């Protein structure tokens, strides 16, 4: 697997990343309705374009995961469903720690697998919000790497 920072976010790349994002969200964000996912999907291209650092993981010339970073915070991390549980997310986070000094992430409280994953990688909860960033009733957990 190769990880690199993409400098240019093309429409083709956005389509590729949405094709990773959507099935991953359907699988991991079971608390969202399909209508809510469709609504969120409208904003994903802008979110992808707006992160200052976008890292792509590639294997066999195919994009299998991506991570977006702003300052030292992970803004997004999605792994293609068939590659989940194989260490891809962990490698992306390790790469981001080593090269971009990431130390923070927010995660939906209902996404128990992600919460456990980040705890396993050394993140710990320091704050909780009853609402997500859009004011919806989906609690958010704010996590930082233990120092």
Q: Are 92 and 57 in contact (CB under 8 A)?
A: yes
Taking alpha carbons only, the member of 47, 3, 7, 5 closest to residue 25 is 47
Task: Give percent of the chain above pLDDT 70.
Answer: 99
Token duo for residue 29: 């964000």
Pairing of strands 104-108, 123-129: unpaired
DSSP tag of 139 = -
Distances (CA, A) of 88 to 33, 58, 131: 27, 10, 29
**Cα 49 from Cα 94, distance rounded (Å):** 23
User: In this predicted structure, what is the pLDDT of residue 136?
Assistant: 84
**Cα 89 from Cα 131, distance rounded (Å):** 26
User: In this predicted structure, what is the pLDDT of residue 132?
Assistant: 86
Predicted confidence band of residue 134 (pLDDT cuts 50, 70, 90):
confident
**Cα 99 from Cα 49, distance rounded (Å):** 20
Q: Per residue in 108-130, pLDDT tens?
A: 999 999 999 999 999 999 999 99
DSSP tag of 130 = S
Helices H, strands E: what count in the chain?
5, 7
Whether residue 41 is predicted with pLDDT greater than 90 in this model: the reply is: yes
Q: Which of 6-10, 68-72, 143-147 has the highest mean pLDDT?
A: 68-72
Q: Are 37 and 25 in contact (CB under 8 A)?
A: yes
Predicted confidence band of residue 133 (pLDDT cuts 50, 70, 90):
confident
Token duo for residue 77: 């991390």
Q: Are 141 and 109 in contact (CB under 8 A)?
A: yes
Report the chain's mean pLDDT, rounded to a whole number: 94
């Amino acid at each position: 697997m190769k990880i690199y920072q993409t400098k240019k976010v093309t429409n083709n790349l956005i389509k590729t990343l949405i094709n990773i994002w959507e099935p991953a969200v359907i699988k991991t964000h079971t608390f969202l309705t399909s209508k809510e996912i469709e609504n969120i999907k409208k904003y994903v291209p802008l979110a992808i374009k707006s992160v200052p650092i976008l890292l792509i993981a590639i294997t066999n010339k195919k994009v299998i995961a991506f991570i977006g970073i702003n300052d030292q915070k992970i803004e997004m991390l999605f792994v293609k469903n068939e590659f989940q549980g194989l260490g891809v997310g962990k490698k992306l986070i390790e790469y981001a720690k080593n090269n971009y000094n990431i130390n923070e992430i927010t995660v939906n409280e209902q996404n128990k697998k992600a919460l456990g994953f980040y705890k396993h990688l050394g993140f710990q909860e320091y704050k909780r919000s009853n609402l997500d960033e859009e004011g919806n009733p989906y609690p958010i957990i704010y996590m930082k790497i233990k120092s």
